[in-house]
């Protein structure tokens, strides 16, 4: 029956993976109000997920919100604990398969159970590429019920080939048996640890392997062995790809390369999946948000429009070299640039002498949680120093705030090349690299000096350009890019058309 198709969504535990999936879930029921969505979410992000979904609805649309059911996975204790999260999903699903209902809440907060009889009626599942066990579970169900199993690609698509383009498991097995190390260690050695080799990917300039890890290794050995090396198989077996990347963000060369790789199977560009920020009266109502707004209003008065820098490395990343973080913060204070620093945990290191200076500086605001979109949309905010995860990148673009980038790992380094070289809407702090990430940059032939004084010199130079004519030109280009990307979800836009095709084909 075409009317009440039921779809399952399984993100990986990370907020950066879950956040856009919340927006995706909301847009599904907005486009097709008769559909039902059951989405899994880590307990730690449940409240945030509900809030993110709510951003998509106006009052009077509660009936649509109730089409989405959130099932909480409670066992993992940190966003790094993807193994427990996945085991929790598998147990929960096994219980569901053996006749227990799935207990959760509608996105508007009402309790809701999914009846076990639904199990064989699901039209489709959209599964995070990293949720390998969940993917395999739904592939089995597919054998009897015929549901479609799609993969969710929560990152910049340009990095697909380097990380997941080839099946390296035979190489890993061979390496493990030759050297006597475990499979996980072998996987890490083969895929992550740089050898100084040039990587040629169909959608990026040639890069040395270490350029993908500008902060030296960040991915854990277990995650590489349990998860990352299996994604290639998932991509070979999936019925199609849904990516948070945007058709008009990547160049035709990349989308062609990706479509060619998938052959007959569809690739849908669902991005940008960023909800509109509504400057509603209660947006800044939480005490923390209210004091951030006061800080921004005050800097607006003292320093003027577009004077403040937001500094954020997302919810999971931070530069490896604390002295370099200190150097950057020192230069900002020296140059009288006001900033808001998002420091998600105390594990995010800042040298002690700098911490003392920060506490004394009235142009500095530090918080472990920052309402990023609200800050970006405030007129006092002019720049964002960011790790350049795709989520943050799209938020900066939508707020017309250009970027100073300090990529850490994952898809960030490739994403930054585009932001700086192709789209020319950002700078990169090359001297912020660390460890083997400090090797020569292939496309420029430059080797960062990597010292603290080099970090300071580079940032001083970037600030002069950012707050001068070059910065204005970047802002203008960003504005054009924003206008283009905003059309993605309008009628006839590539994301909306793609997702409609996906939903109708289930």
Ligand X SMILES: *[C@@H]1O[C@H](CO)[C@@H](O)[C@H](O)[C@H]1NC(C)=O
* Structural tokens at position 349: 């290191």
Question: Restricting to residues 328-387, which ones interact with ligand X according to CB under 6 A?
Answer: 372-373
- For residues 175 and 261, which CB has a smaller minimum distance to ligand X in the complex? 261
Distance in angstroms (rounded) separating the CA atoms of residues 295 and 289 = 10
Among 418, 433, 436, 499, binds ligand X (CB under 6 A): 418
| Cβ pair 450, 460 in contact under 8 A | no
CA-CA-CA-CA torsion sign (366, 370, 375, 376): positive
**Any contact of residue 15 with ligand X (CB under 6 A)?**
yes
205 binds ligand X (CB under 6 A): yes
In whole angstroms, the minimum distance from the beta carbon of 500 to ligand X comes to 23
- 248 neighbors 492 (Cβ within 8 angstroms): no
- Only one of the segments 35-43, 89-97, 164-172, 479-487 lies at the binding site for ligand X (rule: CB under 6 A); that segment is 89-97
Q: Does 84 bind ligand X (CB under 6 A)?
A: no
Interface mask toward ligand X for 130-159; x: CB under 6 A: ----------------------------x-
User: Which of 403, 461, 407 is CA-nearest to residue 430?
Assistant: 407
- Least distance (Å) from ligand X to the CB of residue 421? 7
C-alpha to C-alpha distance for 123 and 1, rounded to whole angstroms: 10
Q: Considering the rule CB under 6 A, would residue 102 count as an interface residue with ligand X?
A: no
Q: Least distance from C-beta 392 to ligand X, angstroms?
A: 5
Residue of 63, 195, 253, 465 that binds ligand X (CB under 6 A):
253
- Residue whose CB is less far from ligand X, 91 or 120: 91
Residue 206 makes contact with ligand X by CB under 6 A: no
- Residue 494 binds ligand X, judged by CB under 6 A: no
Instruction: Check residue 392 for interaction with ligand X (CB under 6 A).
Output: yes
Which among 58-66, 145-153, 179-187, 418-426 is the span making contact with ligand X, rule CB under 6 A? Answer: 418-426
**Shortest separation between residue 98's beta carbon and ligand X, angstroms:** 8
102-106, strands of its sheet edge to edge: 111-114, 102-106, 68-73, 36-42, 6-10, 124-128, 148-153, 241-243, 267-269
Minimum CB–partner distance for residue 2 and ligand X (Å): 32
CA-CA distances (angstroms) from residue 372 to 7, 294, 337, 396?
30, 15, 18, 9
Tokens representing residue 254 in the block: 């990349």
**CA distance linking residue 325 with residue 312, whole number of Å:** 12
Q: Is 405 in the site for ligand X (CB under 6 A)?
A: no
Residue 160's region, left for phi above 0, alpha for psi from -120 to 50, else beta, is: alpha
- Looking at the Cβ atoms of 83 and 323, the one nearer to ligand X is 83
Give me 489's structure tokens.
Answer: 């979800």
Number of neighbours of residue 101 by Cβ within 10 angstroms: 14
Q: Which residues would be at the binding site for ligand X (CB under 6 A)?
A: 15-16, 19, 88, 91-92, 95, 158, 203-205, 249-251, 253-254, 314-315, 372-373, 389, 391-392, 395, 418, 422-423
């Amino acid at each position: 029956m075409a009317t009440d198709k039921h779809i399952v969504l399984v993100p990986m535990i990370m907020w950066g993976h879950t956040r856009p999936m919340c927006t995706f879930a909301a847009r599904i029921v907005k486009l097709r109000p008769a559909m039902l969505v059951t989405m899994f979410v880590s307990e730690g992000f449940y409240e945030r997920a509900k809030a993110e979904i709510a951003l998509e609805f106006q009052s009077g649309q509660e009936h649509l919100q109730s089409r989405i059911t959130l099932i909480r996975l409670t066992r993992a204790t940190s966003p790094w604990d993807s193994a427990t999260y996945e085991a929790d999903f598998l147990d929960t699903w096994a219980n569901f398969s053996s006749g227990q209902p799935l207990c959760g809440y509608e996105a508007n907060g009402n309790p809701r159970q999914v009846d076990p009889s639904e199990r064989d009626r699901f039209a489709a599942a959209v599964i995070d590429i990293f949720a390998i066990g969940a993917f395999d579970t739904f592939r089995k169900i597919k054998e009897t019920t015929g549901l479609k199993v799609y993969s969710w690609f929560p990152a910049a698509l340009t990095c697909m080939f380097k990380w997941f383009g080839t099946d390296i498991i035979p190489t890993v097995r061979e390496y493990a048996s030759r050297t006597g190390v475990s499979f996980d260690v072998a996987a890490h050695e083969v895929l992550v640890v740089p050898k100084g080799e040039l990587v040629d990917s169909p959608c990026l300039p040639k890069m040395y392997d270490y350029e993908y890890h500008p902060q030296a290794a960040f991915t854990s050995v277990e995650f590489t062995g349990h998860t990352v090396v299996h994604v290639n198989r998932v991509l070979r077996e999936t019925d199609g790809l849904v990516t948070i990347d945007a058709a008009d963000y990547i160049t035709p060369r990349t989308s062609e390369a990706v479509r060619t790789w998938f052959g007959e199977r569809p690739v849908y560009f669902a991005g940008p999946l960023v909800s509109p920020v509504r400057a509603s009266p209660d947006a800044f109502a939480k005490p923390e948000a209210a004091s951030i707004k006061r800080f921004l209003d005050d800097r607006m008065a003292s320093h003027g429009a577009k004077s403040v820098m937001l500094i954020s490395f997302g919810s999971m990343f931070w530069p490896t070299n604390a002295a370099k973080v200190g150097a950057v913060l020192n230069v900002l204070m020296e140059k009288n640039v006001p900033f808001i620093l998002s420091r998600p945990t105390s594990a995010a290191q800042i040298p002690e002498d700098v911490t003392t200076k920060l506490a004394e500086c009235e142009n500095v605001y530090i918080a472990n949680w920052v309402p990023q979109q609200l800050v970006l949309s405030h007129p006092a905010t002019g720049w964002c120093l960011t790790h350049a995860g795709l989520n943050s990148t799209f938020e900066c673009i939508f707020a017309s705030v250009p970027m100073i980038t300090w990529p850490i790992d994952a898809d960030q380094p490739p994403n930054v090349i585009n932001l700086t070289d192709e789209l020319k809407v950002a700078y990169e702090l090359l001297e912020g690299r660390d460890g083997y990430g400090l090797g020569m940059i292939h496309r420029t032939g430059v080797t960062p000096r990597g010292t603290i004084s080099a970090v300071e010199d580079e940032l001083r130079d970037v600030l002069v350009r950012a707050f001068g004519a070059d910065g204005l030109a970047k802002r203008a280009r960003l504005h054009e890019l924003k206008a283009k990307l905003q059309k993605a979800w309008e009628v006839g836009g590539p994301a909306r058309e793609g997702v409609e095709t996906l939903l109708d084909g289930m």
